[in-house]
Amino acid sequence: MDLIKIAGMLKGVGLGNVVVIGVVLLSLIQITPLKLNPWSHFFKWVGKLINGEVMESIKGIQKDLEGVHEELDQMKSTEKRREAINCRNRILRFDDELRRKVDHSEEFFTQILEDVTTYRSYCESHKSFPNARADSAMRNIEETYSQCRKDNKFI
């Protein structure tokens, strides 16, 4: 059949009939072994047309959220570094007090020993962090704590 004959046959068919014929043909085209379903493709296409702006907006939000996560990770890292530095400062100050023969309570020793643990943990997980600054201070604190426990010499 050539196109002229097909056009002649369709001349008498109205637009409503063409739509009905199209629907029937699309329904019959579904081929089971190939899993080809024209309706699912059609509705996907319509969904993309309707939700296109929403999907683009969601993509933008996802990109912004990734940026927020990166900033949050940086802030966490900075805060952990700051906390390690604060621990080191408290350790050094406490060591200075011990060397000047200032007595301390057992609770104060416990707090400083927690700082020592936090500081060492940070230094172990961050090899580039300058650690040697507090090594002798930490050793002195631990030795003094052991001696104070032994002699029961806390205030």
pLDDT (0 to 100) of residue 2: 56
Per residue in 86-123, pLDDT (tens digit) is 999 999 999 999 999 999 999 999 999 999 999 999 99
Tally of CB atoms within 10 A around 94:
24
What separation in angstroms does the CA of 40 have from each of 33, 49, 56, 133, 140?
A: 16, 14, 22, 68, 74
Residue boundaries of the structural domains of the chain: 16-26+35-151
pLDDT (0 to 100) of residue 111: 96
- Positions in the chain short of pLDDT 70: 1-20, 22-36, 132
The answer for residues whose C-beta is within 8 angstroms of residue 55's C-beta and 6 or more apart is 48
Torsion of CA 32, 36, 40, 43, to 10 degrees: -150
pLDDT (0 to 100) of residue 85: 93
